Chain A
Amino acid sequence: MLASIAFRFSAGSRLCVACRLLSTSPCESQIRGQVLDEALARVPDLGWTRSCVEAGARTLDLPETMADLAAPRGGADLALYFIDSCNDKLEAQLKLRSSGLSSAGEISLELVGFACRERLSMIRPLLPYWPAGIATLTGSPSLALESAARLQRLADDICHYAGDRSTDLGWYARRLAVGAVYASTEAFMLQDVSEDLVNTWAFLDRRINKDLAAIRTARQVAGGAFDVAANMLGLARR
């Protein structure tokens, strides 16, 4: 039961919730991808704005209506697309890395560190402009919900490919912890001025080796208490 809830929760972030796209023809998602990829190249000049998306469409000889199709909410959709494309690239890399892992409950901290480093490196080309990108996602409650869904999907992907196949309440604790590690490191990175971002990588290592490791032990204690309660109520299926 928990596994099915988990699946639905993570699948929800893969749908374009606000647009309610009920069916996506390949032509339309292709156009969207191409226009927004071109627009991302123009963000340093034009920012996370609708005119940036229009410039992207113009490069492909498409009219401005295609900018409206690709980004109905303007810069916010461009920022969400950036997050989604980075998450997709990360998932492709994680699939290759973790094909050998098959543990049943413990996650590999080393893979979590690799995933966070890779994902943060994808932001580096647009790092000076990313704070403005994040700002566009705070414009409305629905946008805030969508960006939270992206973070949840990222944490879910990382935990899954790091070997988490559990079906107990520790599932939530682990994803919360990984999400917190990633989000705090990203926030740190936005104001890091050190050479080659060494401070950011040190911050990430501390977060993983101290906080995540600590949560792992705490999980065994807290998760155990939850499991006892669930067993007594007849909710756990073991």
Chain B
Amino acid sequence: PKMQCRQLLRCISRSPATSSSSCFGVTRRQVHQPGGFDTSFGFEEVEPGQKQDRVNQVFNRVSNSYDLMNDLMSAGLHRCWKRRFVASANPRPGWRVVDVAGGTGDIALGLLEWSRRLPGRAPPPVRVAPGDGSVDSFREAAERQTAAAEAEAPAGCTVSVVDPSPSMMQVGSAKASAKGSTFASSIQWLEGRAESLPLDEASSDLYTIAFGMRNCTDLPGVLREAHRVLKPYGRFACLEFCSVENPLLSILYDEYSFRVIPPMGLLVAGDWDSYEYLVESIRRFPHQTLFANMMREAGFSAVNYEVLWPGVCCIHSGYKLPSVK
């Protein structure tokens, strides 16, 4: 805490930090760091194999305030991005979806809602018999009929959430139960890493990962595993922060990321370092075209990416086409 307060004061007084390993005045715009993606924890170099443990520690610490911090950091924009991601992934009823690094369940719940209520499908009408005319009897009748209709309606898709952090998934399953038993029963919470998913080969129609790819250690391994787990003709979709092309936005974004987000993390969640790791890990992630090439090398076809407003994140999409004989 004393170290963090010093960092906070330094940040506010706008003088560059001196020699700490994650000082932002000096290294923030450095993209070429020694070592690869699997030995970097933000801007810090770690032993190979240590990165996953450090990441797990971060997420176990921030799980309780993760959703609140997302809302504050992005001013609610992350909800628009995730909704756009779900619309673009377009899960249909009956699909089996695997959502990786989906700890707090935002995407899983969004996918379920989308598949249960595809645009163009009206909600079931409520027919009320003339009862005693009171509001309560109408409400009870409406609830009974909606529950009956939901019981017979197509169940939507089923989602398997895979996350290495049990505490994040606890937050997620609490949210799912709060939404209703039909949602909670369609989601399966599995502990595991993206590089080795606890799922069978060719078992999923759709693979989604939202804001989790930069926390993975071995990107080609994650992509190979995604390819393994998808059925033929299955779809891969990844929502992730990307390199900002617009120079003015890039300057504003850097200032905001390094001067505002860690202090916000300190004030709201009591954790400067985790949020500094999060913004640094964004800078270490490969450029969107490089990541698209990595997807092609892993065997995905029709790979493209769509940058979302205001230009800080993008959706990568690819399909596993059956191999041509």
Contacts and interface: CB of A to CB of B under 8 A. Distances in A.
A22 B303 contact: yes
A136 to B, nearest CB: 15
A139 to B, nearest CB: 14
A52 B205 CA distance: 21
Interface in A22-43: 22-25, 27-28, 31
Nearest to A49: B120
14 contacts: A20-B304, A22-B292, A22-B303, A24-B302, A25-B301, A27-B324, A28-B319, A63-B231, A65-B205, A65-B233, A65-B235, A65-B319, A68-B90, A72-B317
Interface string B80-108: 00000000101010000000000000000
Contacts of B233: 62-63, 65-66
B289 interface: yes
Nearest to B303: A22
A74 to B, nearest CB: 9
Interface string B294-306: 0010000111110
B217 to A, nearest CB: 26
B239 to A, nearest CB: 15
Contact of A22 (B88, B206, B304): B304
Interface residues on A, range: 10 to 19
Nearest to A74: B90
Interface of A: 19-25, 27-28, 31, 51, 62-66, 68-69, 72
Nearest to A68: B90
A21 B304 contact: yes
A28 B304 contact: no
A28 B321 contact: yes
A24 B301 CA distance: 8
Contacts of A63: 205, 231, 233
A22 B303 CA distance: 8
Nearest to B89: A68
Minimum-distance CB pairs A-B, first 5: A65-B235, A28-B302, A28-B301, A19-B304, A63-B233
Contacts of A69: 235, 302, 319
B234 interface: yes
Contacts of A66: 233, 319
A47 to B, nearest CB: 12
Contacts of B120: 51
Contacts of A20: 304-305
Contacts of B289: 22
Interface in B273-325: 289, 292, 296, 301-305, 317, 319, 321, 324
B117 to A, nearest CB: 15
Contacts of B235: 65, 68-69
A63 B301 CA distance: 16
Contacts of B92: 64
B304 A27 contact: no
A224 B4 CA distance: 73
B263 to A, nearest CB: 37
A22 B293 CA distance: 9
B302 A21 contact: yes
Given A65-B319, A66-B233, A27 B205 contact: no
A155 to B, nearest CB: 28
Contacts of A23: 296
Nearest to B234: A65
Contacts of B90: 64, 68
Most buried by B among A23, A31, A51, A65: A65
A21 B205 CA distance: 22
Given A19-B304, A22-B304, 9 more contacts: A20-B304, A22-B303, A25-B301, A28-B301, A64-B90, A65-B206, A65-B234, A66-B319, A68-B90
Contacts of B321: 25, 27-28, 31
A64 B234 CA distance: 9
Interface in B170-218: 205-206
A130 B206 CA distance: 33
A147 to B, nearest CB: 19
A48 to B, nearest CB: 14
A113 to B, nearest CB: 39
A62 B319 CA distance: 13
Interface string B126-158: 000000000000000000000000000000000
Interface string B223-261: 000000001011100000000000000000000000000
